[in-house]
Amino acid sequence: NAGVTQTPKFQVLKTGQSMTLQCAQDMNHEYMSWYRQDPGMGLRLIHYSVGAGITDQGEVPNGYNVSRSTTEDFPLRLLSAAPSQTSVYFCATKEALPTRGYNSPLHFGNGTRLTVT
């Protein structure tokens, strides 16, 4: 049981390049989300999904796209990277069913450290 797996761990991009950050989970959690962590800003929600085929925007969605075709995977796409997207990105999941998941904790991956030059 691996939990939440993020790849890659580190990535350097040039301005304007595109890439996809991968997130996979094996806990059958309905809810998946992406956060970015920046010094002094804490963790800010980018996008989230409450199930396959359903996605919604968080606090800072601009410049990022997501899709959710399966329960297990929730990739985050940067279409044209900018230096302002230099950050550590975390994928987090939790149960979402209200009967079981009303106060269920978020399970985080170990992050992807992205640098855009």
Partner 1 sequence: QQQVKQSPQSLIVQKGGIPIINCAYENTAFDYFPWYQQFPGKGPALLIAIRPDVSEKKEGRFTISFNKSAKQFSLHIMDSQPGDSATYFCAAREGYNQGGKLIFGQGTELSVKP
Name the residues that contact partner 1, by CB under 8 A.
4, 31, 33, 35, 37, 40-45, 48, 50, 56, 58-59, 90, 92, 96, 98, 102-103, 105-106, 108-111
Two structure tokens written together for 58: 């968080």
Q: For partner 1, which is the closer residue by CB, 18 or 56? A: 56
Q: For partner 1, which is the closer residue by CB, 33 or 85? A: 33
We find the least distance from the C-beta atom of residue 22 to partner 1, in angstroms, to be 15
Compute the distance between CA of residue 31 and CA of residue 98 in angstroms, rounded to an integer. Answer: 12
Compute the distance between CA of residue 82 and CA of residue 62 in angstroms, rounded to an integer. Answer: 11
We find the least distance from the C-beta atom of residue 97 to partner 1, in angstroms, to be 11
Q: For partner 1, which is the closer residue by CB, 47 or 81? A: 47
Compute the distance between CA of residue 109 and CA of residue 29 in angstroms, rounded to an integer. Answer: 13
Closest-CA residue to 4 (of 84, 64, 90): 90
